Amino acid sequence: MKSLQRVFVILFLYAALFAACASPAQMAQSNRAREKNPAVSEADIAALVDGNNAFALALYQSLRTQDENLILSPFSISLALAMTYSGARGETETQMAEVLNFGPQEQTHRAFNALDLTLEDTNLVFNKEQEPMQLSIANSVWAEQTFIFLPDFLDTLSIHYGAGIHLLDFANHPDPSRKTINEWVSRETEDKINNLLPENSITTNTKMVLVNAIYFKADWLSPFDANDTYDGTFKLLDGSEVTVPMMGQRMSIPYFVGDGFVAAELPYAGGSAVMTLLVPDEGRFEEVESTLSAAMFQEVLSTFTAADVALRMPKFEFESSFSLSDTLATMGMPIPFDENRADFTGMTDQQDLFIGDIIHKAFAAVDEKGTEAAAATAVIVEGATAMMPENELYVDRPFLFFIRDVESRQILFIGRVLNPR
């Protein structure tokens, strides 16, 4: 009987251990629900979109020096940094606002909430052969389980971003915590963004990771016929050529011939999204790319006219991954990354914080049916390293000790330790 009891006890302990390991991370969360009808003007939303797009193209200019394919979701980056911005104060807040084109705190967060909710409210597709456009945007915050956050910061995350804080054990289990965050990103992006956080990106000094994930999938309004796809020649910048599958069809689309480039716009089913193509003339890619700005892009959009176009374009699929800390610091916001100067006291009054890194990963695939794209951004917030004392006392020899009352200076106890054992 005792042996049987021992077996039941062991099985119970294993079950309890499994349940503890399998249970989701605990949450630190405001009791305020997300605001589903934020009080924000159309002008504020328009200002946010204009600012986001200006940042998007400025960021592209900073990243385009890489001699390879490039895909990024500037909206994902802006969203993750907007959550971080809610805890920024002083010069840190000022620099982030200038580079990211953010307005005052409350106005910015309300506008992001309204824009986020509007983007996910997509139009339905009535063609039975086409699937509805999918656009999902998810935010999450992951934090060291012992860290204490200010109530206002928790309220902002919940009300405007629908995000609570998942508590993890960064201090003792940084790599399992990293894998937990990566698994969440994979789920939210339909397994298109995997291993967002590389090994060693999360350390025992990590206090918080603010994450945005975005997933997009849509059919073309006018799909390409796969029977019309053939292997064609694609000319590279260095003059060499590669063979790639080229899709083709005749269609009536917005079209514009500019100085050194041709632009066109391909609509997706449902009419709520488009792909804008900007194709520089041969030999003028660098010239056109270097002039790409918010003003130039807006000018192109405003000059589109409907035209009948015989379009050929390649099928493609690739991903990009990069750290943005050096890029954003160079663009004008070095203080948020400075351990000694960053001010995120809007998050906590427990410890000085700074941004250790910003990691972004994006994916895109375009074929005859449509487009699938996904991206994720992680803002890794670290705790500032404590100042090392100038002197060190290693009590490794016999010593005396005194216990005394401070106010009266009375010695209450006196003793010595010759052998601590």
Q: Nearest to residue 245, comparing CAs of 363, 364, 368, 71?
A: 368
Convert the pLDDT of each residue in 144-177 to its tens digit: 999 888 999 999 999 999 888 899 999 999 999 9
Per-position DSSP letters for 219-265, written without gaps between them: EBSSPPPGGG-EEEEEE-TTS-EEEEEEEEEEEEEEEEEETTEEEEE
Q: How many whole angstroms separate alpha carbon 341 and alpha carbon 328? A: 16
Q: How many whole angstroms separate alpha carbon 278 and alpha carbon 256? A: 9
Token pair, residue 78, equals: 């802006």
Lowest mean pLDDT among 162-176, 360-374, 391-405: 391-405
Q: Quick check: 251 pLDDT over 70?
A: yes
Q: How many whole angstroms separate alpha carbon 260 and alpha carbon 281? A: 5
Q: List, in sequence order, every residue forming a beta bridge with 268; answer none if it has no partner.
A: 220
Dihedral (CA of 73, 167, 357, 183) sign: negative
Token pair, residue 398, equals: 């016999």
Q: How many whole angstroms separate alpha carbon 76 and alpha carbon 192? A: 15
Residues 6+ apart with CB under 8 A from 300: 256, 258, 263, 276, 278
Greater confidence (405 vs 113) lies with 113
The pLDDT value recorded for residue 121 is: 74
- Cβ pair 88, 344 in contact under 8 A: yes
Kind and range of the H or E run holding 179: helix 174-188
Q: How many whole angstroms separate alpha carbon 49 and alpha carbon 78? A: 11
The pLDDT value recorded for residue 350 is: 78
- CB atoms under 10 Å from CB of 176, counted, come to 13
Q: Quick check: 75 pLDDT over 80?
A: yes
Q: Quick check: 2 pLDDT over 50?
A: no
Total residue length of the chain = 421
Q: How many whole angstroms separate alpha carbon 383 and alpha carbon 356? A: 9
Residue 271 three-state SS: coil
Average pLDDT over residues 267-292: 88
The pLDDT value recorded for residue 416 is: 65
| Confidence category of residue 21, pLDDT binned at 50, 70, 90 | very low
The pLDDT value recorded for residue 387 is: 59
- CB atoms under 10 Å from CB of 131, counted, come to 15
Lowest mean pLDDT among 14-23, 113-122, 300-309, 386-395: 14-23
Kind and range of the H or E run holding 347: none
Buried b (16+ CB within 10 A) or exposed e, 179-194: ebbbebbbebbeebbe
Kind and range of the H or E run holding 391: none
- How high does pLDDT run on average in the chain? 85
Lowest mean pLDDT among 58-67, 120-129, 175-184, 284-293: 120-129
Q: How many whole angstroms separate alpha carbon 301 and alpha carbon 375? A: 25
Q: Nearest to residue 252, comparing CAs of 288, 287, 221, 214?
A: 221
Ordered domains of the chain (ranges, CATH): 26-217+320-383 (3.30.497.10), 226-316 (2.30.39.10)
Q: Quick check: 18 pLDDT over 50?
A: no
Q: How many whole angstroms separate alpha carbon 60 and alpha carbon 292? A: 9
| Confidence category of residue 330, pLDDT binned at 50, 70, 90 | very high
Q: How many whole angstroms separate alpha carbon 27 and alpha carbon 165? A: 5
